[in-house]
Amino acid sequence: MSNNFIDYILRIRLPIILFVAVTSFAITYFASRAERDGVGYTPDQPINFSHALHAGQMKIDCQYCHTDVEKSRHASIPAVSTCMNCHTIARKDKPEIIKLTKYYTDGTPIPWKRIHKVPDYAYFNHSSHVNKGIECQTCHGPVEEMEKVSQVKPFTMGDCLSCHRNAQSNLPYLTSVKNGPDNCWACHR
């Protein structure tokens, strides 16, 4: 190969390739940030459900709808029949309740969009946290004030470890709290 060809590659092609590679990485990194840490993720849902009304004004306990949170690693999305416990009677003529009723009568689950998600490679158990008295708002933020639920805290390893290593300062409402496990296999099983 001639020196002119190598010079051409080094002066022209290589900077262009590097620029494209760095730009692609930066765009991918920042565009996928919400997918990775979720902060700010606020999807439109198939039914406009107000946690501010139900959990806030009406003071319905989280566990009325998220029934598995005390006994399962998953909080569970409420079945449409749970909603219909009240809405066979209450506010039946409202547009969102009419949509809800259609899902119920058709026997179709509501295709809720998941908001809070721990990465697949990490193990998280809701029941072990809830049964120790940790409030939902500690991780999920003030859901009882949200018209539209959004992820307000990242579910990253660093954030979980911070809480596990400094439980007393992160959970001041608990009188006798011990730090959580911080060994690898507690979450990576």
Segment 61-74, tens digit of pLDDT: 999 999 989 999 98
Is the Cβ–Cβ distance between 75 and 131 less than 8 Å?
no
What is the structure's pLDDT at 171?
A: 93
Residue 33 pLDDT > 80: no
For residue 104, the model assigns a pLDDT of: 96
Give residue 20's pLDDT band: very low, low, confident or very high (50, 70, 90).
Answer: confident
Q: How far is CA 125 from CA 95, 111, 118, 188, in A?
A: 36, 23, 10, 12
Answer whether residue 32 shows pLDDT above 60: no
Q: What is the mean pLDDT of residues 22-37?
A: 64
Tokens of 138: 């500690």
Instruction: Report the interhelical angle of 80-87 vs 95-106 (nearest 10°).
Output: 130
Q: Is residue 119 pLDDT above 90, yes or no?
A: no
Q: How confident is the model at residue 43 (pLDDT cuts 50, 70, 90)?
A: very high
Band (pLDDT 50/70/90 cuts) for residue 45 is very high
Q: Can you give the pTM of this predicted structure?
A: 0.74
Tokens for 59?
A: 């003071």
Q: What mean pLDDT is reported for the chain? A: 88
Q: What contacts 144, CB < 8 A, 6 or more positions away?
A: 51, 52, 55, 56, 137
